[in-house]
Amino acid sequence: MLHGHLQDRVGMPLVHTGRTREEMEAIAIEEWMAASPVYSLRTQRALRFGNGDVPTILKNIQLDIGAPPHFMDFRCRVEDEYHGEFWLAHCGALLDVEPMGEDYVHGMCHAIEDPTFDATAGATNPRAQVRPCTDRRVSPRGGSRIATGPSRSTPRFRRSTRIRTARSSSSRSSRRSRSNLPGRTETTPSREAGRLLRRFRSRLRARGSLAPRARHRVAGSRVQSHLLLRGFAVAVAQRYGEDVALALLPQIFTGLAGMTRSASSRCSGSRPATRTTSRACSPCTRCFWPRTYVDLRIEVVDDLRVRFALGSAPVFEEADGFTWFSQLGGTATAPSTRSCRR
């Protein structure tokens, strides 16, 4: 889930270079409003929870790629079916942006979050709205109240159709998923969904056989990463042209690999056959998943060499080049093979 924040940590400065803060904020708003309604419904279908009420919205937010536990400590309280509240006891993103000044704090905590939270909640319930309880620059609690009203219409974003129709949005989160398209959520809770907790803390580890709940959460967050990247690329392309968007993607991939390599290795707990395999696969691991969307093949040649290939898969069947691998091998349509030497 932290991978999504790191995507923006690389992508947004690239957008900001030579442009105003307001332009960067506009890209962020369009990115999250395009992607979050799509992956929110995917998450609810994969974990089979929700009936459109406030507890569903709160649980959905807890599992959002924008709310990684231990970096963003979301707390929630349900008043009734129609009212609830969430706040952050700790916000790593706020700590990151505070040294940049009050304008950037207001831009993230209000200009960006106010409309994007509406879009996320509106995907679950067309009448839902998220409104700040307090000014987050004044109160460390920084809560936001969720209320459903009878006259609230579905928040629509004019470019979300492009994200909804992508192959990544219809790709299964895992090979055991029963539902693979956005749509109506189930009306009954399931063991995979679990109950709504006031504070959600992730203790998932990739050691051994994951429980169904863990498999869906991990695979679902990887799909969210792909959809968030597409939302970013679509927003940039609409404002500055597809050439600009395509030029940024390999830069994001490169910057993200350096930050996620060690963290991914520590968190996964995996023990590859050789150190060479670990060196080849640890960078940007989340970009190569889930296997239902990306067909990654790895062959250990010897102690010094690893060959990896991307086979034919839905990631190469997108209508545009807005994927992690759009510039790999000079084409966005053909599978590619690369060799690595230590």
pLDDT per residue over 37-69, tens digit each?
999 999 998 888 888 899 999 999 989 988 888
What single letter denotes the amino acid at residue 314? P
pLDDT at residue 223 greater than cutoff 80: yes
pLDDT at residue 181 greater than cutoff 70: no
What domains are there in the chain, each with its CATH number?
Answer: 2-159 (3.30.1380), 212-341 (no CATH)
Give the Cα separation of 20 and 174 in Å (integer): 40
Confidence (pLDDT) at 236: 96
pLDDT per residue over 145-162, tens digit each?
777 665 445 444 444 566
pLDDT at residue 74 greater than cutoff 60: yes
Tokens (6 digits) for 122: 């509106």
Provide the whole-model pTM: 0.79
What single letter denotes the amino acid at residue 186? E
pLDDT at residue 8 greater than cutoff 60: yes
Give phi and psi for 104, each to the nearest 5: -75, -35
